[in-house]
Chain A
Amino acid sequence: DAKTTQPTSMDCAEGRAANLPCNHSTISGNEYVYWYRQIHSQGPQYIIHGLKNNETNEMASLIITEDRKSSTLILPHATLRDTAVYYCIVRGGGTSYGKLTFGQGTILTVHP
């Protein structure tokens, strides 16, 4: 699976949009981009994933560049409860669904 690069930490004001970038320049054609987050002392929570089209769900939006070498997770109206470590993961298909390689992630701090 392709390696990802994320900033170590980011800050965001409550109510503003949080834009979390991820670089995955070695991504291959059949690999998806997944985002998970982990609130302190809890298990990771699935947020969203995509292949090449932009995706949106009730939690967030995922913007993938046309060359697929980078993506941005957008939390449109961040709240204090969105403070967490956000992981960008790239993985392919096959039978190992659910087998994920976690990087260091981005520590997002939402402040009042």
Chain B
Amino acid sequence: GAVVSQHPSWVICKSGTSVKIECRSLDFQATTMFWYRQFPKQSLMLMATSNEGSKATYEQGVEKDKFLINHASLTLSTLTVTSAHPEDSSFYICSARDPDGNTEAFFGQGTRLTVV
């Protein structure tokens, strides 16, 4: 299957700073990627849909000015958590659609963000 890679795998940052997470499709072009967040012992929650060359679409309740998404190329989407606070500590996961016209999604390995 297609490979999606996230970087970094984990990051620790201080309150008030910004953190950028990268999501790359390694062997295919992805016009659409998705960003999820997962708190401990909870399920994945979709945050936003990242569209190459256009603005991201955010789910209800997700602050677009706090979670900046950029999808400037067909293989890279970035999520920047701005002015991070401890409550932003979570597991962030991206996914991309299968490029071959099938319908399954492929996920990155996730990024563990800890804000101290």
Main secondary structure on chain A at its contact with chain B?
Answer: loop
CA distance A100 to B47 in the complex (A): 11
A46 close to B106 (CB less than 8 A): yes
Contact between A93 and B103, CB atoms less than 8 A apart:
yes
- Chain B residues in 8 Å Cβ range of A96: 49
Kindly state the separation between the CA atoms of A41 and B93 in the bound complex, as whole angstroms: 10
Q: Looking at the complex, which one of B1, B105, B107 makes contact with A97 (CB distance below 8 Å)?
A: B105
Task: Say which size band chain B's interface belongs to.
Answer: 20 to 34
Shortest beta-carbon distance from A93 to chain B in Å: 7
Proximity bits, B81-116, A CB within 8 Å = 1, else 0: 000000000010101111000011111111010000
- Counting CB contacts under 8 A, is A81 at the interface? no
Whether the Cβ atoms of A46 and B104 lie closer than 8 Å is yes
In the complex, the answer to whether A98 meets B44 with C-beta atoms within 8 Å is: no
Q: Is A99 touching B46 in the complex (CB atoms < 8 A)?
A: yes
Query: Smallest CB–CB gap between B9 and chain A, Å?
Result: 9
Picked from B1, B93, B95, B110, the residue with its CB within 8 Å of the CB of A98 is B95
B32 at interface, CB cutoff 8 A: yes
Point out the residues of chain B lying under 8 angstroms from A34, CB to CB. 104
Q: Beyond A43-B95, A99-B46, is A32–B105 a contact (Cβ under 8 Å)? A: no
* Cβ B43 vs Cβ A104 within 8 A: yes
The answer for the CA separation of A100 and B107 in the assembled complex, in Å, is: 11
Most chain A C-beta atoms within 10 Å of own C-beta, residue among B43, B109, B110: B43
Q: Cβ of A97 and Cβ of B109 under 8 Å apart?
A: no
Interface presence of A45 (CB below 8 A): yes
User: Which B residues have a C-beta under 8 Å from some C-beta of A?
Assistant: 1, 4, 6, 32, 34, 36, 43-46, 49, 91, 93, 95-98, 103-110, 112
6 residue pairs of the A-B complex, CB under 8 angstroms, read A41-B110, A43-B6, A43-B93, A43-B110, A49-B103, A97-B103
Known: A49-B104, A100-B46, A101-B46. 8 other contacts (CB 8 A): A41-B91, A42-B110, A43-B6, A43-B107, A43-B108, A49-B103, A98-B97, A102-B43
